[in-house]
Structure 1
């Protein structure tokens, strides 16, 4: 069946707003926060940094560091990543180093910390945890990307509030938060976030929004007063820029690489239409019969969270798994199925043959196959002939004129790559 599969290379066009002068825009938004009226010379000011790869984060952080220095204060880059990095200070440092977030690069000390303590309680008596490194600061500037979450939906999801609650909450805060299950997370995020905003010396935030091209579409100052509402509006805008698969009905989706640098779940649940959370109904679309993943990114440092959402993977991917890191991530989130290892095969050829065998009830010429590089970059992909025929003439899509046959190189790897 493999020899009969032909695929067209496809390019999708999404909305593409882009900030050209990153440093200039960052400085402009910092001025909106009136930090010169809030920061005193000699104070210690913490700037949050996390485990996510965010486009243009280095120049954004550099501008913030320099701005705080001009006010006579000392900036510190404080790790705000919950249980990521294995839940240890050294693990956090290793992750930040890999992202280029170092003192040598940015001119500010990087402070990692896994110890945390309760600073208050919610109206319902829930302790609110904050890492000790944040408690040592005279002021805190929250910087994070705002985007939809992969496990729950609410007025705020991944963004500044979550950076406060889960990121600065440290391992204890992250474990407590996720322990309530997806049905409670949206409410708790706002409830705990408001307590932190009332107790911690938060100066404001910078929200970063990215387009489907992984380009910086917006940098926006967010004030402490009304932070939840402001972030909620930015989340709506972020969702309008999201990428998507070219079709919703797919027999086999092949993902070249998964990883934490592409999504917090390794494979973006919003893209594949699978959540794999016990007791939670799966999204109605897209509907994908089989999902295969070929590799794990180096940037994940062995964290294969999300592997359990695939049906087939390679032995190469499995061999790269750091079980301790992966298990801690999934145990903390409570979504343990996402760490389950699916069927795995020695070569990509064996994997594809097995996947197609499981779909043998569908004739080769009708197979709906899509190959993508990962679940973040979806501007280019390969689609089978049946899908290509449906998309011909669509204004936002460009198809190559001739299909290519799905074949394999001497090492039995797929010859088609984005």
Structure 2
């Protein structure tokens, strides 16, 4: 990679392609699995079913949710959807509708009404530290005859446990709206790991939950598993699905990195903007991060459109591009970060007006004693897109043997931002 202004800034770069798990389902398989699973559920004729949908950018989410609605209606059910996303969307009903719309989910695309508000009902309680912790449920969902939530199963961004990010979490923190998210996050990482499963089971025990639809994506962010799980089986089935999801997750090719450049962050990429399982940093009040990888400097370049200005995770970076800062919605970002007990993830780092300026900061102040030729630099589109990376020679030389590396010449555009690279963009 060359730089016409100062060749010291960047070592020779390569396009690295690393193999990732490929197991994408065909559209017909997705539809058939949902139809079969819904057909096996016990649904009374005319039952009012509330379908909870989250804020993640899940592959084929419109097809999945639309198919669930159609399958329920085929059983004679009356169906409506509701946002099951805790405090996202600025913790407002209209804001959460906007998040769903950014994912392509509307009344028209679903084929049913979406009812969005932040009002909840207390439907159960659990004992915590000699007191009762109320279990909240979206008020619209609480008035229904049954609740179904649909979510991707994946490792959580803050902790390790038998169930992490998936149906169990969505039943509690998602469907419980801002009230429940605040209550759970108040107990920190331990609360998320230990209290959420207990709370989800208490909710299931009320008889209000009909089922969960579990989704798993492969290493290319393609839907690879769809399973309709009756409510009583979620607690025992989800740990197996989490292990499956973890085995499919792509990772960075090395653990020790001097500079990681992330082209975009957003809620549709990860609940923390960039996946902490990939970058290793967490920065919650009671948990700094995972053991690996170890990254000296992270530079984030922009926000996704679907994140609607929510820049949670910006504080996981050390440097950011001005365009990212200009796209931030400070209200939704602050609410999300504070609710999650991780205000540092909303803190805006040192801002650069161009890639050249950001790399100059790294080279002059943050690189350390390592010679430029030995700098381990990786650039990715986002933390979901790790099949094709731009890496420095120092990374290419130690990359796994099943990876392929091709030299590239990454030139600057007139405003000194990265130009396009064939095979990467």
Both structures adopt the same fold (TM-score exceeding 0.5): yes
CA contact (8 A) 1:5 1:405 kept: no
The answer as to 2:90 corresponding to 1:86 is yes
Aligned to 1:297, what secondary structure does the other structure show?
coil
CA contact (8 A) 2:272 2:313 kept: yes
Mark the CA change 1:202 to 1:249 in structure 2 (over 3 Å): closer, same or farther.
Answer: same
* Aligned residue number for residue 3 of structure 2: none
Structure 2 residue aligned with 1:106, among 110, 114, 117? 110
- Any stretches of 5+ residues in structure 1 without a counterpart? none
CA contact (8 A) 1:2 1:353 kept: no
CA contact (8 A) 1:3 1:407 kept: no
Aligned equivalents of 1:385 and 1:107: distance in 2? Answer: 51
State the shift of 1:41 in Å.
Answer: 2.1
Query: What whole-Å deviation, never above 9, does each CA across 1:72-108 have from its counterpart, x for those lacking one?
Result: 2211112111111111111111111111111111211
CA contact (8 A) 1:4 1:405 kept: no
Aligned to 1:244, what secondary structure does the other structure show?
coil
* Aligned residue number for residue 411 of structure 1: 415
The answer as to 2:34 corresponding to 1:26 is yes
Aligned-pair RMSD on alpha carbons? 1.5
Aligned equivalents of 1:114 and 1:315: distance in 2? Answer: 33
The answer as to 2:322 corresponding to 1:315 is yes
| TM-score of the pair, normalised by structure 1 | 0.95
* Aligned residue number for residue 383 of structure 1: 391
* Aligned residue number for residue 248 of structure 1: 255
Aligned equivalents of 1:313 and 1:257: distance in 2? Answer: 10
Aligned equivalents of 1:348 and 1:274: distance in 2? Answer: 22
Aligned equivalents of 1:369 and 1:223: distance in 2? Answer: 46
Structure 2 residue aligned with 1:232, among 239, 242, 245? 239
Q: Between Structure 1 and Structure 2, how many residues are aligned?
A: 410
* Aligned residue number for residue 17 of structure 2: 11
Structure 2 residue aligned with 1:61, among 62, 65, 87? 65
* Aligned residue number for residue 155 of structure 1: 162
Query: What whole-Å deviation, never above 9, does each CA across 1:134-174 have from its counterpart, x for those lacking one?
Result: 11111112211111110122111111111110111011011
CA contact (8 A) 1:259 1:267 kept: yes
Structure 2 residue aligned with 1:191, among 175, 187, 198? 198
- Any stretches of 5+ residues in structure 2 without a counterpart? 1-6
* Aligned residue number for residue 308 of structure 2: 301
| TM-score of the pair, normalised by structure 2 | 0.93
CA contact (8 A) 2:34 2:71 kept: no
Query: What whole-Å deviation, never above 9, does each CA across 1:165-203 have from its counterpart, x for those lacking one?
Result: 011101101111111111221111111111100114211
Aligned equivalents of 2:257 and 2:230: distance in 1? Answer: 43
